[in-house]
Amino acid sequence: MIGRVVKGIGGFYFVHDGEHAVMGKARGNLKRNKELIYVGDIVDYDIDANDSDDECVINRVIERRNFLTRPPVSNLDMLVVVFSLRHPAVNYPVIDKLLAGAEKNGIKPVICVSKPDLVSSDELAECRGIYRDIYPVLSVNGNTGEGTEELLEMIRGRSAALAGPSGVGKSTITNHILGDSVAAVATGEISGKTRRGRHTTRHVEVFPLGGGTYLYDTPGFTSLDMDEIEAVRIRELLPEFRELNHRCRYADCMHINEPECAVKEALAAGRINRSRYDSYIMMTEEVKAWQKQRR
């Protein structure tokens, strides 16, 4: 049978077949080869009627389009990058690094501005303006749930995770998306209000929302794996740079001090946002520093 690993706890995995989850273990050969099973993996498994503890045994991982290691998850299509402008204040380089990390891993980013009630409509518009032409931009109010429908529409039919700094409202938004009933169906448990009075995330879990939509609930993703990237490749991780990268005088232009640089011209003309450019410079400097350290 084919199913999706939706949870893993201490060597046990929960495999979801589209309707419910069964618990089981990896077959011995997978363990011997130290092959990892990630939450999110599509796996081939058998129902194990003989063993009273395990309901299934996982034979092999059949699909892993991508994977992240902190926290370990696989097969993400979409990363919803959540941040508030105030309480906590936005740190754009942190946000842009998350976006670039998603790009690097082939995951489609979406911007979700939280706590719109704490800022003026001008401030909100200014922020949306930075990303408007680059990524889909949504706003969700965790207090009222306003904007949840739009977010659900955005992730429909995809495997999506919320990412972003702590305190921005990810758990609150997750609560709106899941509701008690969905959470209960997803885990195969009778939930009730007692099980989880308030949503907290201690481990990674995938919630199947039906219709091919999977919401990954994770404790983390404050940054994505950016190791092993060459500084000169970072420019490819900013979509608005892509058409300009090859119009500079030098083919490997880093868009810093080089003459006849299409990106710096676009920056001066206001076609590249200053905040995005500053984040780009920070990312290249960070990567260069890592590489110097390693040598």
Ligand X SMILES: Nc1nc2c(ncn2[C@@H]2O[C@H](COP(=O)(O)OP(=O)(O)O)[C@@H](O)[C@H]2O)c(=O)[nH]1
Binding-site ranges for ligand X (CB under 6 A): 114-115, 117-118, 141-143, 166-172
Q: How far is the CB of 119 from ligand X (least distance, A)?
A: 10
Please select the residue that binds Zn ion; options are 216, 255, 272, 273, rule is CB under 5 A: 255
Instruction: Please answer whether residues 70 and 61 qualify as being in contact, where contact means their C-beta atoms are separated by less than 8 angstroms.
Output: no
Q: How far is the CB of 127 from ligand X (least distance, A)?
A: 14
Number of other residues whose CB lies within 10 A of the CB of residue 262:
19
Q: How far is the CB of 94 from Mg ion (least distance, A)?
A: 16
The one of Zn ion, Mg ion, ligand X, none whose footprint includes residue 275, by CB under 5 to 8 A per kind, is none
User: How far, in Å, CA of 189 to CA of 206, rounded?
Assistant: 14
The one of ligand X, Zn ion, Mg ion, none whose footprint includes residue 261, by CB under 5 to 8 A per kind, is Zn ion
By beta-carbon proximity to Mg ion, the closer residue of 171 and 191 is 171
Instruction: Please answer whether residues 75 and 54 qualify as being in contact, where contact means their C-beta atoms are separated by less than 8 angstroms.
Output: no
* Alpha-helical regions (H) of 196-253: 239-242
234 is an interface residue for Zn ion by CB under 5 A: no
Cis ω on the peptide bond leading into residue 109 (within 30° of 0)?
Answer: no
Instruction: Please answer whether residues 11 and 28 qualify as being in contact, where contact means their C-beta atoms are separated by less than 8 angstroms.
Output: no
Q: How far is the CB of 199 from Mg ion (least distance, A)?
A: 8
Q: Of 30, 96, 26, 87, nearest to 54 (Cα)? A: 26
The one of Zn ion, Mg ion, ligand X, none whose footprint includes residue 91, by CB under 5 to 8 A per kind, is none
The one of ligand X, Zn ion, Mg ion, none whose footprint includes residue 142, by CB under 5 to 8 A per kind, is ligand X
Residue 45 phi, psi (nearest 5) = -145, 160
By CB under 5 A, name the binding residues for Zn ion: 248, 253, 255, 261, 263
